[in-house]
């Protein structure tokens, strides 16, 4: 594990003795396999590899954390909502582990303050917060096992943030909901997306959302996906009563 010792010696993880103190405070226990947590907070921009040439960053731990969150949340919902069918349980789990919610959890724990990166923190996208949260969950599982991981998820996710009644009314994708409604009501829909940079430094996209060949909403954002979601949200509120009756 000489590569990990080198990271600890030459990086902020070593220079800032508060790193593991802060981490222990978040977790409620003293970490054992420090190398896992080094990886969990190492951004790919550091361009570090182990002795076998494998990249050292949090991305693989994200994969593990995502799986553990899904498993623990699925088990919780299965016990908590015995009347829920597979479709209901899937939707509820998606709401709890949505990218938006994971980003909120990462921000709540100030995980970005722990990350080691060559990129200024101001340049990170919003998803960095959720990515770090997933990586942390992955590290916990690999360090301490399922029970500790489950305990952390209950403490940081389920107990403070999961309310079944509130979640039932929460929309995680206005576009998906709108498309489902249009298909159910046999309405035609079209997202006309085009590049609209204008005088902005960043590339922007505009979208015109038409339902039954009538433009219902327009929106503009820095990605096609964001523009479509923003237009869908505006269209949802235009048809909120009709959509509520349909579902």
Catalytic residue among 66, 143, 150, 228: 66
Residue 91, phi then psi, degrees to nearest 5: -65, -45
Residue 20 has pLDDT above 60, yes or no: yes
Select from 3.30.160.20, 3.40.50.10440, 1.20.140.10, 3.40.50.980 the CATH code of 174-246: 3.30.160.20
**CATH architecture assignment, domain 2-168:** Orthogonal Bundle (1.10)
pLDDT computed for residue 185 by the predictor: 93
**Mean pLDDT computed over 82-111:** 91
> How many whole angstroms from its chain centre is CA 130?
4
Ordered by start, the domain boundaries in the chain are 2-168, 174-246
Quick one: what percent of the chain has pLDDT higher than 90?
57
Q: CB of 212 within 8 A of CB of 230?
A: no
Nearest-5° angle of CA 140, CA 144, CA 145?
95
Banded pLDDT at 5 (limits 50, 70, 90): low
pTM of model > 0.75: no
- d(CA 102, CA 136) in angstroms, rounded, equals 12
pLDDT of residue 105: 95
Rounded distance, CA 103 to CA 110, Å?
Answer: 10
Cα 105 from chain centre: 9
| Catalytic residue selected from 59, 85, 86, 134 | 134
pLDDT band per the 50, 70, 90 thresholds, residue 245? confident
Tens digits of residue pLDDT in 148-175: 999 999 999 999 999 888 887 777 788 9
Return the HEC string of the chain. Answer: CHHHHHHHHHCHHHHCCHHHHHHHHHHCCCCCCHHHHHHHCECHHHCCECCCCCECCCHHHHHHHHHHHHHHHHHHHHHHCCCCCHHHHHHHHHHHCCHHHHHHHHHHCCHHHHCECCCCHHHCCCCHHHHHHHHHHHHHHHHHCHHHHHHHHHHHHHHHHCCHHHHHCCCCCHHHHHHHHHHHCCCCEEEEEEECCCCCCCCCEEEEEEECCEEEEEEEECCHHHHHHHHHHHHHHHCHHHHHHHC
Q: State pLDDT tens for residues 98-136.
A: 888 999 999 999 999 999 999 998 888 889 999 999 999
Per residue in 27-66, pLDDT (tens digit) is 988 888 989 999 999 999 999 998 889 999 999 999 999 9
In this structure, is the dihedral angle defined by the CA atoms of residues 93, 97, 99 and 103, taken in order, positive or negative?
positive
Structure tokens at 168: 């039932």
| 165 among known catalytic residues | no
pLDDT at residue 10 tops 60: no
pLDDT band at 15 (very low <50, low <70, confident <90, very high): very low
Q: Verify whether residue 134 is a known catalytic residue.
A: yes
- Please report which confidence band the pLDDT of residue 14 belongs to, taking 50, 70 and 90 as the band edges: very low
Read off φ and ψ for residue 50, nearest 5 degrees: -85, -175
Work out the burial of residue 123: count CB atoms within 10 Å of its CB; fewer than 13 is exposed, 13-18 middle, 19 or more buried.
exposed
Q: How far apart are the C-alpha atoms of 134 and 153, rounded to whole Å?
A: 11
pLDDT given at position 143: 95
Q: Which residue has the higher pLDDT, 103 or 88?
A: 103
pLDDT at 243: 86
């Amino acid at each position: 594990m000489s590569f990990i010792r080198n990271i600890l010696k030459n990086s902020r993880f070593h220079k800032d003795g508060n790193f593991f103190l802060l981490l222990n405070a978040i977790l409620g226990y003293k970490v054992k396999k420090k190398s896992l947590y080094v990886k969990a907070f190492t951004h790919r921009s550091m361009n570090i590899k182990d002795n076998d040439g494998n990249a050292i960053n949090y991305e693989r731990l994200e994969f593990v954390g995502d799986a553990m969150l899904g498993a623990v949340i699925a088990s919780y919902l299965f016990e908590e909502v015995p009347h829920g069918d597979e479709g209901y349980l899937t939707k509820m789990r998606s709401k709890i582990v949505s990218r938006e919610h994971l980003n909120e959890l990462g921000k709540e724990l100030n995980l970005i303050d722990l990350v080691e990166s060559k990129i200024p923190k101001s340049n990170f996208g919003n998803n960095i917060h959720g990515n770090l949260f997933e990586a942390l969950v992955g590290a916990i599982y690999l360090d301490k096992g399922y029970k500790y991981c489950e305990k952390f998820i209950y403490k940081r996710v389920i107990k403070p943030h999961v309310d079944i009644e509130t979640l039932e009314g929460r929309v995680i994708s206005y576009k998906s909901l709108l498309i489902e409604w249009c298909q159910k009501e046999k309405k035609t829909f079209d997202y006309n997306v085009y590049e609209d940079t204008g005088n902005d430094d960043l590339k922007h996209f505009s979208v015109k959302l038409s339902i039954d060949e009538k433009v219902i909403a327009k929106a503009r954002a820095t990605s096609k996906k964001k523009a479509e979601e923003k237009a869908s949200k505006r269209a949802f509120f235009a048809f909120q009563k009709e959509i509520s009756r349909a579902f």
